[in-house]
Amino acid sequence: MSALPTRKDEAWRYSDLVAVARHWPVAVETIDVPAGATHSDIIRAADEGIRHLAITIGAGGACRLTILDAGRSYGRIAIDVTLHDGADFQLGAILIGRGEQKIELVTTVRHIGVAATSRQIVRAVAGGTATTSYLGQVAVARTGQKTDASQSFKALLLNRGATANAKPELEIFADDVKCAHGATVGEIDAGALFYLTSRGVPPVQARALLTRAFLSDALDGLDEATTEALDAEITAILEASS
C-alpha cells in the first residue's frame, strides 16, 4: 500500500488530509483512446471521495472531459493525460463549493508527441467557508514540438470566508510551442447585481444568473442538449445554495 501523502507533496498542498485518509489508497482508472479515435465523458461528482484518471490519447485521437463537481464535503479529481502526435485533449470543469466543502482538481497534461493540442477551462465558485483548488501542469517533452496548449482558471468567491487556490504551471523542454496559462479570483460584480435586482429580478435568482454566466465558458463546445441539461443542474445547485 502506498504511503499517505503529506503537505510536502505540492499536489496535496491544499488537501484535507484527514478526509484523504478515509479514501486511501486510490485506484487509478485508465482510459486509452486509440489512434484516430474520439472519447467524451461527463463526470458528475456528488459523493465524497477521490478519483484518479490516467488517460492516454493515441496519434490523431481526441478526448473531451466535462466535470461538474459539487455537493460533497470533500472531493478530489486527479487527471493525468498523455498526448501522442496530433492528439487533442479538451477539459471543461466546474467546481462549486458551499458550506465547509473542499473541492480539488489536479491535472497533469503531458505532450510527448508532435503537434498535439490541449485546452483546459476551469471555473470555480466558492461560498460559505468552502475551498476550491486547482493545480494544473502542462509538461511538454523535447519531442513535443508544435504543441498548442492553454489553461484558464477563474474563481468567484461568494463570501469573504471562501477560498480559491490556483497553481497553473508550464514545464516546457521543446522550443517550438504555443503555451499559455492564467488564473484570476474575484467577486460578483456589484453593479451587475444591482442592475438585475433594480429591474425586479429576485436577489437569489440574480446571483444565480450572474454566477451561471461566469461558469458558461467551461461548457463551450458541448452540444445544445447537453448544455441545457447541465445548465439546469447548475442553476438548481446555485439557487439552492444562495
**Domain residue limits, the chain:** 10-187
Lookup: cell for 98? 458551499
**Closest alpha carbon to 77 in 134, 4, 147, 120:** 134
The residue count of the chain comes to 242
**Closest alpha carbon to 42 in 79, 93, 102:** 93
Evaluate if residue 1 carries a pLDDT over 70. Answer: no
Q: How many angstroms separate the CA atoms of 140 and 179, rounded?
A: 9
Pairing of strands 177-187, 163-172: unpaired
Q: How many angstroms separate the CA atoms of 106 and 60, rounded?
A: 25
pLDDT in tens, 184-241: 999 988 898 888 899 888 888 888 889 988 999 999 999 999 999 998 888 888 877 6
Q: How many angstroms separate the CA atoms of 224 and 206, rounded?
A: 23
Q: Tell me, what's the pLDDT at 227?
A: 92
Q: Tell me which of 140 and 8 has the higher pLDDT.
A: 140
Torsion over CA: 7, 98, 229, 194 (sign)? negative
Pairing of strands 131-140, 102-111: parallel
Q: Tell me, what's the pLDDT at 66?
A: 97
* SS3 label, residue 15: coil
Q: Tell me, what's the pLDDT at 113?
A: 98
Evaluate if residue 19 carries a pLDDT over 70. Answer: yes
Evaluate if residue 242 carries a pLDDT over 70. Answer: no
Q: What 8-state DSSP symbol labels residue 160?
A: T
Q: Are the C-beta atoms of 71 and 95 separated by less than 8 Å?
A: no
Lookup: cell for 75? 472531493
Residue 136 CB-half CA count within 13 A: 27
Q: Tell me, what's the pLDDT at 40?
A: 96
Evaluate if residue 11 carries a pLDDT over 90. Answer: no
Q: How confident is the model at residue 139 (pLDDT cuts 50, 70, 90)?
A: very high
Instruction: Kindly tell me the burial class for residue 236, based on how many C-beta atoms sit within 10 Å of its own C-beta (0-12, 13-18, 19 or more).
Output: exposed
pLDDT in tens, 30-83: 999 999 999 999 999 878 899 999 999 999 999 999 999 997 889 999 999 999
pLDDT in tens, 101-122: 999 999 999 999 999 999 999 9
Q: Tell me, what's the pLDDT at 206?
A: 86
Q: Tell me, what's the pLDDT at 159?
A: 87
Number of neighbouring beta carbons within 10 Å of residue 99: 10
Q: Are the C-beta atoms of 222 and 66 separated by less than 8 Å?
A: yes
